[in-house]
Structure 1
Amino acid sequence: MNLNKKLAVAVSGAVLLMAGQVALADSTTDIVDALVMKGVLTEEEGKLINKGHTSKTKVTPVVKEKDGAFILESANEANSISLTGRMHLDYRASSLDAMDLGPSARGDDRDSASMADQFELRRARLGVKGKFAKDFKYEVVGNLPGTATLDIAYVDFAKFDAFQIRAGKFKQPFGLEELISSNNMTMMERSYLDQTVPGKKIGVQVMGAPAKGLTYALSTFQNNDVERDIHGDGYASGAGRFTFNFAESMGDKESVMHVGLAGLSSTYSIAPSTTSQTTGAAESTTSRASINAFRSAGRGLANIFRGQIGGGACTTADYSCPIEYGAKVVQQAAGLEGIFARGPFKIMGEMSRGQYKAEHNAGTNVQYDTDTFYAEAGYFITGEKYANSYKNGVFSSFKPNNNFDLDKGDLGAIELAFRIEGFRVEDTNLGASGLGSRLQGTLDGSGTANGTKSKADTYTAGIRWILNPNVIVKMNYAYTNLGRNYAPIDITGSTAIVSSEQLFMTRLQYMF
């Protein structure tokens, strides 16, 4: 072989071997075959180059791009990893200010501080997700603002569509709205119903889609995510959800006709403590633990209702407190959900009825029922179809028909929406001995009397502008009617009563 031919063989081989990392194997083989046919390479040399290229492509990872995110995947497609993230920057302007609570409103009190106009970095998260050994999937996400915390961390055995297992920290299967990612919600904030769901907890879940249109999920979990609670973690907590999409079962790709049922039973412990943001000797020496609370829609007024149980707090220097210093809470709830969507129009809603029972060994007990609901209508004026983003019982990411591009005159996707929501607290019972237990907020009568009630209704109008799969702008206006008037919590000397609240909110959202 002469020098020029040897040089041609060497250069061709080097180029083709490097190209093999980014080119398709079939294309490389075609090029080598063409060089053999032209006599530039012998058949033996062609086979040698193809062999080297094939062995290289079998082990070289592949980089893929999807909706602005990059995925690194093994050549055999059995393993992958990708970086995920989101940033939600909000601005919120309230019709109220501290003076609505009178001159005694305290700046260090979180309830009166919730009235302030403010910017908020609502979410900033970074994580990884992917698969390994072909049949296993995983995701780990951390919260970045303030002290870094773990948002979710789980691994799935996902070999079969009909039966999968999940273990770790994840969203429990109760509440349609909760199971839709914050990236994909129509409104900026979830409804009152979401304030009664377990959310993200550590546990184990079985789930699947055994038939077309049908999904199920059953989980058991613990309420205390960080440290074991000797008084509470032994209790059983569980949730379940079943959904069926009639449109999917009939092969209708233009519509969503979804119904769902969910149930929740959770038992856990809470520890009373003395409050640090109240005035007056009586307040500062009373020990209580919060059972649950409601905040007005759009992250407005905090604690427009709060249920608390009184009891002794641990005050010994060595913390050698007996078990009676803990209170047991039992929460039970049932939920009904539905979606009807056709083309660019949707109606979605949920309702839930629940009960809270709290008992303290010192002799106190509290019980009350909650009803929560919302109904939401949406319409894409740019023509996107809701059915395109519906998958396994929830809405996933929405993609514009045309991404925002000023040069082409494309605006992205624009959705108009309206939601009505509310909560009710009824059938309240503080037991025979109060010992500091109380119900606070929008109440009929005294917060320490049996039979008191609480309610609120909120009406929200919103615009969601999806520029592309990575950038979204939202604007919401919410009006809340505090049906039985809001009385300031733990602020002595104030006689102010707040009957309504208006919020204007905007969000810049980026995710990948």
Structure 2
Amino acid sequence: MKGYLLVAVVAMLGVELMPAGARAEDMNTIELIKQLQRRIEELEQKVKALEGDKQREEQDSAAKAKQRTEELEKKIKILERNRELDKEAAEAREKSTPRITTTEEGSTGFAFSTPDKDFTLRLRGYVQGDARFYIGDDIPINDTFLIRRLRTAIEGTVFRDYDYKIMLDFGSRASITTGNNGFLQDALVNIHYWPEFQIQAGKFKPPIGYEHLASDANLLLLERGYPSQLVPNREVGIQLHGELFRGRVVYALGAFNGVFDSGSEDFDVTDDHKDVIGRIAIQPFKLSGNEYLQGLGFGVGGSVGDQNGTSPSFVTTAAQRFFSYASGTGATNSPNVVAAGRHWRVNPEFQHTFGPFGLFGEYVVSSQELQRTEGSTISRVRADNTAWDVTASYILTGELNTLRGPVPRSAFSPRGGGWGAWELVARVGKLSIADEVFPDYAAAGSANSAFSYGVGLNWYLNRNVKVNLDYEHTRFDGGSAASGAVTAQDENAFLTRVQLAF
């Protein structure tokens, strides 16, 4: 820059001096040079000042940019931290906020749970409205509409490993007794740290009877077959149970108060004895992938104990009583029969499902020592009562048969065109009373046995609503021939049911 200025000065000097070359020694020339030098210095200072200002501006600009960048980075870090805090808060809310879902097992219902499902509560229940019509009999009061069952249940889990269930029956035909056996159906806690070894305690169905262990909401025909009448209904006790080999083996073994056949109690009101009840069921081909064999299973249950007190009565598959033990005061001409001693049961079973087809059968022998009292005469006898049945079903609409009712592929809807699922069912079975019971230990007019067969058509409108239409025929061996007696003629009954379950 300075070089350019010198050139300019020399050029100016040349212009000034050329016309006055003779006066080169004039003092004005020196003064002019000095002025020019001062001017050059002034210009140099201005240039330096301008360059300094530009440098300062660049430095200021860089500093401001750096400051701005730091501020932006700080804001970004703040935003990122806020985002992390929001995410943590959302996760905390999610962990603490209950969820409302629909249940997937069985009938569709409602459930409340924590997100991790360590705590759950499910609301379940079902109502069954029946109609019974008996054809060709002389009994004037047995055709009826009725609420067969009206049950509500609360079940769920606490702390992940503790299941609970409470079920009440408001439509039970039984009145509330000192044993409270009709109202409270289930009240239990199940501890399951491991699926192989679980502990269950409370009131529930003991582990015996294949069809008996099925829920009342999943029955293929309106009433259970005869074998279920020779096993206990519900008892109070504790059992060890679980699944082994990935579900191929299911076992249960427990100690219970002990009740008469098909009986229920909340506490033992007859004796101090306890029953031991167990069951093991095997499906050896469950995971084989062989569609013909994977649904094949076998099992056996049993019980043993001492039973005193009430003796049972038995009904047909259309729910009419055909046998009772003698029940009097125990005085002369009024004999009374009670359970009095060792009571054992054996219950083999089998089942097979293949696509829409299903088949199961079971046999029960219930051996009970009985005592008959009439005045001063006391006698004893052992009665080995037996029952068996075989039930087959076929899903007409092609759904998978589980012997517990199908899940319809399409729910019935007059607007959407779905027809639900349709099922055909057939059953044959027999209950026989031990010969030793007759005539002294049986109530007058009781039959020695009942042989029944029945067919049914089930319509599953959806997972919650089912309609049953059954026909049952029963033939009796022995019994009263008096007009109006159940055993006076063969029983023919049409039974219907509308069920809503959730």
TM-score by length of 1: 0.72
Amino acid in structure 1 at the alignment position of 2:193: K
1:248 aligns with 2:282: no
What residue in structure 2 maps to residue 424 of structure 1? 432
CA–CA distance in 2 between the matches of 1:179 and 1:253?
25
Q: Does 2:385 match 1:370?
A: yes
Asked if 1:143 is matched to 2:144, the reply is no
CA contact (8 A) 2:209 2:231 kept: yes
- Partners in 2 of 1:137 and 1:83 — Cα distance? 14
Hey, what does 2:394 align to over in structure 1?
Answer: 379
Q: Choose the corresponding residue for 1:221, options 249, 256, 278.
A: 256
Q: Which amino acid aligns with 1:468?
A: N
Shift of 1:440: 4.0
Q: Distance in 2 between matches of 1:495 and 1:473?
A: 31
Q: In the alignment, is the contact (CA less than 8 A) between 1:236 and 1:267 conserved in 2?
A: yes
2:311 alignment partner, one of 267, 277, 291: 291
Identity within the alignment, %: 25
1:257 is aligned to 2:272: no
State which structure, 1 or 2, has the greater radius of gyration over its C-alpha atoms: 2
Matched, 1:482 2:476: yes
2:493 is the alignment partner of 1:458: no
Does 2:352 match 1:340? yes
- Check conservation: 1:367, 1:430, Cα contact below 8 A: no
Contact map agreement 1:477 1:502 (CA 8 A) in 2:
yes
Pairing 1:301-380 to 2, within 5 Å after superposition? 301-302=320-321, 304-308=322-326, 312=330, 328-359=340-371, 363-380=378-395
Residue 291 of structure 1 aligns to a residue in which SS? coil
SS of 1:183's partner is helix
Match of 2:124 among 84, 101, 118: 84
State the shift of 1:245 in Å. Answer: 1.1
218-227 or 468-477, larger mean C-alpha shift: 218-227
CA contact (8 A) 2:337 2:371 kept: no
State the Cα distance separating 1:152 from its structure 2 match.
0.6
Q: What is the CA-CA distance between 1:377 and the residue it aligns to?
A: 1.1
Distance, in Å, in 1 between the alignment partners of 2:481 and 2:384 is 21
2:84 maps to 1:47: yes
Provide the C-alpha distance between the structure 2 equivalents of 1:410 and 1:458, rounded to a whole number of angstroms: 35
Code of the aligned partner of 1:297: T
Deviation of 1:228 after TM superposition, in Å, equals 4.1
* Structure 1 contact 375–420 (Cα < 8 Å) conserved: yes
Matches within 5 A, 1:18-37: none
SS at match of 2:433: strand
CA contact (8 A) 1:329 1:357 kept: yes
* Rounded Cα–Cα distance in structure 2 between residues aligned with 1:497 and 1:128: 41
For each residue in 1:284-337, what CA deviation from the matched residue of structure 2 results, as whole angstroms up to 9, or x when unmatched?
xxxxxx6222111121x21x1222366648xxxxxxxxxx99862543221111
Deviations 1:482-511 (A, max 9, x none): 1335446xx9xx899612010001000011
Q: How many pairs align?
A: 404
What's the offset of the Cα at 1:353?
A: 1.8
Equivalent residue in structure 2 for 1:267, among 306, 315, 321: 306
State whether structure 2 residue 200 is matched by structure 1 residue 170. no
Supply the distance in 2 between the matched residues of 1:377 and 1:401 (Cα, whole angstroms). Answer: 21
Q: Greater relative contact order (Cα 8 A, min sep 6): structure 1 or 2?
A: 1
Instruction: Give the distance between the partners of 1:85 and 1:251, measured in 2 at CA.
Output: 35
- 1:419 Cα offset (Å): 0.5
Partner residue, 2:59? none
| Separation in 2, partners of 1:377, 1:77 | 38
- What SS class does the counterpart of residue 85 from structure 1 fall into? strand
- Say whether the 8 Å CA contact 1:174–1:197 is kept in structure 2: yes
Letter in 1 for 2:463: P
Q: Displacement of 1:55 after TM fit?
A: 2.0
The reply to whether residue 157 of structure 1 matches residue 191 of structure 2 is yes
Aligned to 1:202: 236
Contact 1:310 1:364 in 2 (8 A): no
2:124·2:501 contact (CA, 8 Å) conserved in 1?
yes
- How far has the Cα of 1:470 moved from its partner? 0.6
Aligned counterpart, 2:499: 509
Cα RMSD of the aligned pairs, angstroms, is 2.9
C-alpha distance in structure 2 between counterparts of 1:346 and 1:430, whole Å:
38
- CA deviation after TM superposition for structure 1 residue 127, in Å: 1.5
Structure-2 residue corresponding to 1:468? 462
Matched, 1:438 2:442: yes
Contact 1:80 1:131 (C-alpha < 8 Å) held by counterparts: yes
Query: What TM-score, normalized to structure 2?
Result: 0.74
Q: Measure, in 2, the Cα distance between the counterparts of 1:495 and 1:71.
A: 49
Which whole-Å CA distance do the structure 1 matches of 2:308 and 2:86 have between them? Answer: 68
Shift, 1:117, TM fit: 0.5
* Residues 54-93 of structure 1: pairs in structure 2 closer than 5 A: 54-67=91-104, 68-93=108-133
- Note the alpha carbon deviations across 1:178-198, whole angstroms, 9 max, x for none: 001111111111011111110
Counterpart residue identity of residue 243, structure 1: A
Structure 1 gaps of 5+ residues are: 1-35, 101-111, 271-289, 314-323, 390-394, 444-453
How has the CA–CA distance of structure 1 residues 325 and 372 changed in structure 2, closer, same or farther, with 3 Å as cutoff? closer
Q: Is the 8 A contact 1:309 1:365 kept in 2?
A: no
Distance 1:468 1:486 in 2: 44
Alpha-carbon shift at residue 235 of structure 1 (Å): 1.1
**Whole-angstrom CA distance in 2 between matches of 1:495 and 1:135:** 53
Secondary structure of 1:153's counterpart equals strand
1:238 maps to amino acid? V
Larger fraction in strand: 1
CA–CA separation in structure 1 for the residues paired with 2:142 and 2:92: 63
Change (3 A) 1:330 1:457: same
SS in 2 for 1:248: coil
Q: 1:226 offset after TM fit, Å?
A: 3.8
Partners of 2:171 and 2:468 in 1: CA distance: 21
Which secondary structure does the structure 1 equivalent of 2:397 belong to? coil
Q: 1:400 to 1:486 in 2, by over 3 A?
A: farther
1:257–1:227 Cα change, 3 Å? closer
Change (3 A) 1:210 1:238: same
Q: 1:348 deviation in Å?
A: 1.1
Higher fraction of helix: 2
Q: Distance in 2 between matches of 1:460 and 1:187?
A: 8
C-alpha contact 1:365 1:430 (8 A) present in aligned 2: no
Offset of residue 430 of structure 1: 7.0
Amino acid at match of 1:214: V
